[in-house]
Amino acid sequence: MGDIELGRSLLGLARRAIAARLGLPAPEPRHHQALLDPGATFVTLMHESELRGCIGSLEACRPLGVDVTENALAAAFRDPRFTPLQVSEYERISVEVSLLGPTLPLEVPDEQDLLRRLRPGVDGVIFEFGYHRSTFLPQVWQSLPEPKLFMAHLKRKAGLPADFWDARVKISRYEVLKWKESDLTPVH
């Protein structure tokens, strides 16, 4: 799970940003020194065990506190798959924050080699081909545990056929530290 205090700070910042946008009160989360360092996060919102929004950053190009705040707002109000979050839903959503580690290119000669080298449950994967790009967090392995199925869905997410492969495909992987409100009660 990583640093519990950092997790509490990130979850608190995400929850507070959403509440503020909805005009609802929310306590000020505790400050953590790491919030000032560059960081890349994904914020995932769940509603009754169903995805309600998920937006994030793949590169650490802004302070971690800013990144999680902006991604929380984007997940709640700008995820194109969902309508903007409403006040009536706020109390029923749960927040998860994933802090991405370094992105590492994975040199593979073909898809079969890739499928052998993927680490289910560990690897977040970035798929790139031309202007097609997609990623799945490591948590997606829970619903797509087989590497072939995982990659088929990732390619479809990028707008390509499930069986697509080309020698120019670029694959990168990353790991995450994650915190969920359901696992960690934020302390404000």
Q: Is 141:150 a contact under the CB 8 Å cutoff?
A: yes
Domain CATH code at residue 11: 3.30.700.20
Alpha-carbon distance of 36 to 180, in angstroms, equals 21
- The total of structural domains in the chain comes to 2
Q: What is the pLDDT of residues 61-96, one digit of tens each?
A: 999 999 999 999 999 999 999 999 999 999 999 999
Taken in order 136, 137, 141, 142, the sign of the CA dihedral is negative
Q: Is residue 187 part of a domain?
A: no
pLDDT surpassing 90 at residue 144: yes
Alpha-carbon distance of 67 to 82, in angstroms, equals 21
Q: Within 13 Å, how many C-alpha atoms sit on residue 172's CB side?
A: 15
Average pLDDT over residues 56-65: 96
Residue 117, both tokens: 């080298």
184 pLDDT band, cuts 50/70/90, is low
Q: Is residue 35 part of a domain?
A: yes
For 165, the domain range is: 104-174
pLDDT surpassing 80 at residue 155: yes
pLDDT at residue number 188:
33
Query: For the whole prediction, is pTM greater than 0.85?
Result: yes
What's the distance, CA 61 to chain centroid? 16
pLDDT surpassing 80 at residue 187: no
